[in-house]
Structure 1
């Protein structure tokens, strides 16, 4: 198992109910507001987010910029949104659960149930500082994304 094959996961408590947090994370077009890597997201054919809907992300890391293509795999209101990136096969998700008070525990996860594509492995090694280094960048980016979503939800 390489570092990019690992399950990456981070959680944060948000002082807002799941419905309010869902309104934010369920619209993939807003990801650029929070993610340090995503600069824009566009949904195919002007569709609204939902299961089966395709979208593209424009990404940046340092001087590098690239586009990824994704499809929403799961869209369960106030519970989970998950999408698979075509280029590297990674499945990214946000899971929401009530925290027992008035808040939400928000978890961001990156899983690789089909492994990582050879293309993604080569790009990580050749252009993104190597797999170990880029995995740490992804972990840090998850934390930054969660903190930013929390700030938006609690504002």
Structure 2
């Protein structure tokens, strides 16, 4: 069973609009994420319903996924659901006195993913006990790179 929620947060010195301009530019995800190397966005500007094709990498393993933007509130939150495993990834922006706290998360409803995803995580990625901490570390790395992009 997958963790129902994996999330990491980081405060960024900037306005919600400045942070939003980075986190909502899904075509740049490959610059931030250590695992999602490329997101191809279809259908113009990102909005609710936008579809993506993604190239992911972990060591020598490379695999594609697809997603659909399921939450889109400018300057507040964006999330996309991965078709192949039913998880939802996204960012929530919360304005603070010092800027914006950005929370990056992965939600697996009721700890469930697809049968194929569960099999691959167990047999190829070493199981949830090693794979999910790696995902959390990747979220921290992603947030750190987004912070550098915003704060310059």
Q: Which runs of structure 2 are paired with 1:67-146 in the superposition (5 Å)?
A: 67-101=64-98, 103-113=99-109, 115-146=112-143
- The separation in 1 between residues aligned to 2:3 and 2:139, in whole angstroms, is 16
- 1:6 CA displacement: 2.6
**Superposition CA RMSD, Å:** 1.1
Once the two structures are superposed, residues 36-68 of structure 1 have per-residue CA deviations (whole angstroms, 9 ceiling, x without a partner) of: 001111012x42211001001100001000000
- The separation in 1 between residues aligned to 2:122 and 2:116, in whole angstroms, is 10
- 1:69 CA displacement: 0.3
Aligned residues: 151
Q: Which 5+ residue runs of structure 1 have no aligned equivalent?
A: none
* Native 8 Å contact 1:5 1:116 kept in 2: no
**2:143 matched to 1:151?**
no
- 1:27 CA displacement: 1.3
Once the two structures are superposed, residues 58-88 of structure 1 have per-residue CA deviations (whole angstroms, 9 ceiling, x without a partner) of: 0000100000000000110000001000011
1:55 alignment partner, one of 52, 69, 77: 52
Normalising by structure 2, we get a TM-score of: 0.95
1:39 alignment partner, one of 37, 40, 44: 37
- The separation in 1 between residues aligned to 2:129 and 2:4, in whole angstroms, is 11
Q: Which 5+ residue runs of structure 2 have no aligned equivalent?
A: none
Normalising by structure 1, we get a TM-score of: 0.94
1:16 equivalent in structure 2 = 14
* Native 8 Å contact 2:4 2:109 kept in 1: no
1:25 equivalent in structure 2 = 23
Where does structure 1 differ by over 4 angstroms across 4 or more consecutive aligned residues? none
